[in-house]
Amino acid sequence: MERKQLRIALPNKGRLAAPSVELLKKCNVKIENGTEQRKLYAGTSDPEIEVIFVRAEDIPEYVERGAADAGITGEDLVAEKCAKVRILAKLGFGKCRIAIAGKQKIGIKDISGKTIATKMPNATSEFMKKNGLKATILPVKGATEIAPGMGIADLICDHVSTGATLAANSLVEIATVMESEACLICTDGLAGRKREILDALALMVWGTNEAAGKKYVMMNVSEKDIPRIVQLVPGMRSPTIMQLAAKGECALHTVADAKTLPEKIRRLKELGARDILVLGIEQIVR
C-alpha cells in the first residue's frame, strides 16, 4: 500500500542530529514522544509528516531509493554517496570543509603520486579527477590525522571546521576539496501531495534561515529625523512609518541585521531615535 505521509529521514546521532530536530520544531513540525535513542520511527505534530531516524551517512541512499521522501544530511555525504537526490535548501548548520592536509604545505600539483588516507574516497577521487591529479586513495574509517605520522599515507583528506585537530596533529591544509553544510534533500521526481507538503516545509525552512540573522526593530522618532534614520536602517523594502498621537512624532518599524545592530542602535540614538525595541523574527518569506 502506498505511503500517504511525507517521510523525512533525520540523523539519529552525531552533530547534525539535534539541530535537525530543532529546525523542524522552528518550522512547526514537532516530533511526537520526544526523540529518545533507539527510536526509529515517529509521528509529528503534522499528521501528514512522519520521521525516521537513521545514520546521517545513510540518508542520501534512503532518499535516493525513496525509502524516505526527504532527509536532512550533510552535503559532503550526498557527494560521497554520489546520490541522485535533489538539494532543496542549505540549512546553515553543520558547516565544514573537506580538505587535503599534510605535514608540510605543498602545491596542488604535488599531490600527484602521493597516498591519501580518507573517510571520503569518492569525494577525494572526484577532486583528483577534476584537477587532473593522480594519487593513491587509502580508505580508512576514522582518525585519519594519525596516518601520515604512522607512515601509511603522505596526506589525508578529511573534515575541517576550526583547523584545531589538524594543528594538534602537526598537519597543515593544502587544498579544499569541497565546502559543506547540512541540507534538506528529496527524492528526485517527488510529486503530488507529498511534493506540496515538502514545498511548504521548504518555504518554512528558507524563512527560518532568512530570519535567523535578522531582528525587528521599532522606535519612536521625530518627523524631521526620518530621512537620515531611513538611510541608516532601510529595512527589507523600506521602513514602516506610523503617525503618533503627538504632533510631529512617528513610530518607525524596520528589519535589521543582528550582527551590525549594536553599532546601528548607537547611531540611531545619535540621530534622535528613542524607545528602541528589538524583537526576534521567526520567519521571513519573501
The helices-and-strands tally (H runs, E runs) of the chain is 9, 15
d(CA 281, CA 214): 7
Q: Which stretch binds ligand AMP (CB under 6 A): 12-20, 35-43, 207-215, 216-224?
A: 12-20
Buried b (16+ CB within 10 A) or exposed e, 216-251: bbbbbbbeebbeebbeebeeeeebeeeeeeeeeebb
Q: How far is CA 257 from the centre of its chain?
A: 18
Nearer to ligand AMP, 12 or 208 (CB): 12
Which of 52, 44, 85, 91 minimizes the C-alpha distance to 68? 52
Nearer to ligand AMP, 15 or 228 (CB): 15
| Binding residue (CB under 6 A) for ligand AMP from 4, 14, 30, 170 | 14
Q: Is 66 in the site for ligand AMP (CB under 6 A)?
A: no
Mask 114-153, x = binds ligand AMP (CB under 6 A)? ----------------------------------------
Nearer to ligand AMP, 15 or 25 (CB): 15
Smallest distance from the beta carbon of 86 to ligand AMP, in angstroms? 18
Which of 98, 99, 17 minimizes the C-alpha distance to 57? 17
Rounded-to-10 torsion of CA 202, 203, 209, 212 = -140
Q: Is 96 in the site for ligand AMP (CB under 6 A)?
A: yes
Smallest distance from the beta carbon of 66 to ligand AMP, in angstroms? 22
Q: Is 159 in the site for ligand AMP (CB under 6 A)?
A: yes
Mask 72-91, x = binds ligand AMP (CB under 6 A)? --x-xx--------------
Q: Is 16 in the site for ligand AMP (CB under 6 A)?
A: yes
| Binding residue (CB under 6 A) for ligand AMP from 9, 56, 70, 205 | 56
Handedness of CA 141, 145, 146, 151 (dihedral sign): positive
Q: Is 71 in the site for ligand AMP (CB under 6 A)?
A: no
Smallest distance from the beta carbon of 98 to ligand AMP, in angstroms? 9
Smallest distance from the beta carbon of 34 to ligand AMP, in angstroms? 20
* HSE value, Cβ hemisphere, 13 Å, CA-based, for 212: 13
Q: Is 61 in the site for ligand AMP (CB under 6 A)?
A: no
Q: Quick one: cell of 98?
A: 573537506
Q: Is 183 in the site for ligand AMP (CB under 6 A)?
A: no
Residues counted in the chain: 286
CB 178 within 8 A of CB 75: yes
Using DSSP, state whether 78 is helix, strand or coil. helix
Q: Report the interface residues with ligand AMP, using CB under 6 A.
A: 14-16, 56, 74, 76-77, 94, 96, 159, 161, 180
